[in-house]
Amino acid sequence: MKRIFIISTLSLSLLAGCQQKQEDQGMREAASSELALEEIDAAPAMKQSDQAAEQAIASPQVPVVSPKKIVRSGNLSIESKDIHASKKHLDAVLQKFQGYYEQESTNNSQHATQYSLIVRIPSKSFDSFMQSLETGKDKITEKNIQSTDVSIQYYDVESRLKSKRTYLEKYQQMVSSAKSVKDLLEIQEQIRQLQEDIDANESQLRNLSGQVDFSTLHINLFEEQANLPMGSNSFWMRVKDSLTFGWQMLEGLALVLIGIWPIFILGAILFVGIRKWQKRRKVK
């Protein structure tokens, strides 16, 4: 009887051990399955992340480059054979490219007629304007063009202007929160100084923008006597010039004599006085 009890107890123990082993194995398999599913689910996300990283490396962010600010100016001398026709042509070309005269003066002399001009042309049309003048009938005797990069100066003024505007807004907001009259006066003084600086920077920025947007060209348009029709500088022309020169000398001499008339009057008085004195002396 005791043997049967021992055998039954061992059988139950073995059965329980096998059952526990099967349960542990099932749990391990389930855990393995869940881990595999998690890896499968995470794979697309990891793949997308890797692709994003690769795209970021392949196409880095390009920094924004500010456009250059170039000021163009120059001098141009033009010799013409018909200065009035050349001036009309210059007017038409300037109007075509939407430019304007900033200054215009004329000088007429015996040997030449001359226009001294300062023109402003949109920078984008400057080269086309120059080409129109160079391909014309007149002769270019002098040409000097300069290009100056003012980008650093321009963007420095622009940056300082933005900064001062920001400070001005902050000080204006502080006015309502001033705790004493002294604080209020100090804030208002800061606002006044900032406003003056902002006005000066805005004026400087407008000046630079105007120089960048419109190029400046000094033009000397002239017609000399050598460009007159053939024979105009011949013998008879020289005779005419000589007669004109002689007449001008006579005019000058007459003006000199008129200018010293008091000396003639004084001389006449002295002459008459001396003659009378001599006559009286002879009588004695």
Please, what is the average pLDDT of the chain?
78
How many domains does the chain divide into? 2
CA atoms of 126 and 131, how far apart (whole Å): 9
Domain carrying residue 134? 70-150+215-226
CATH number at residue 113: 3.30.70
Q: Which residues of 250-281 are buried (b: 16+ CB within 10 A; e: fewer)?
A: eeeeeeeeeeeeeeeeeeeeeeeeeeeeeeee
Same domain, 163 and 125: no
Same domain, 75 and 202: no
Is 265 a domain residue?
no
Task: Answer yes or no: do 197 and 76 share one domain.
Answer: no
The answer, yes or no, to whether residue 76 has pLDDT greater than 90, is yes
Cβ partners under 8 Å of residue 154, min gap 6: 69, 205, 208, 209, 212
Torsion of CA 18, 19, 22, 23, to 10 degrees: -140
Q: Are residues 86 and 158 in the same domain?
A: no
Q: For residue 158, what pLDDT is reported?
A: 94
Q: Are residues 143 and 221 in the same domain?
A: yes
Percentage of the chain surpassing pLDDT 90?
A: 46
| pLDDT (average), residues 144-165 | 95
- Both 133 and 201 in a single domain? no
Sheet of 139-149, strands arranged across: 100-108, 112-122, 214-224, 70-79, 139-149
Whether 134 and 219 share a structural domain: yes
The residue-averaged pLDDT of 9-36 equals: 46
pLDDT band of 149, cuts 50, 70, 90: very high
Residues 219 and 208 grouped into a single domain: no
Same domain, 142 and 219: yes
The pLDDT of residue 157 is 94
